Amino acid sequence: MYIPGMDNDTLRVMLAAALGPIVWMPVHWLVDKYKAKHAARDAMRRLDAMHSSYHFGKRMAARFRRLFH
């Protein structure tokens, strides 16, 4: 059956427009889940680095005080 103006490219565009949201929703959910997981991990790494820097400074200050006082 021939419908004027309905070639394969038009049908592909219509199919993509119909299936796009159906395919994108699970992908979007997975991407959000991945970002949340890694954001929490990166935040913990930054916090750990901050704590270790703080304690390193405290140890160096104690050594300095012992050396000169």
Looking at residue 59, its pLDDT comes to 94
The string of pLDDT tens digits covering residues 41-62 is 999 999 999 999 999 999 999 9
Domain boundaries defined on the chain: 40-69
8 pLDDT higher than 60: yes
- DSSP, collapsed to helix, strand or coil, labels residue 3 as coil
- DSSP, collapsed to helix, strand or coil, labels residue 64 as helix
* pLDDT-based confidence at residue 12 (cuts at 50, 70, 90): confident
Q: What is the DSSP letter of 34?
A: H
The pTM is what? 0.46
- DSSP, collapsed to helix, strand or coil, labels residue 31 as helix
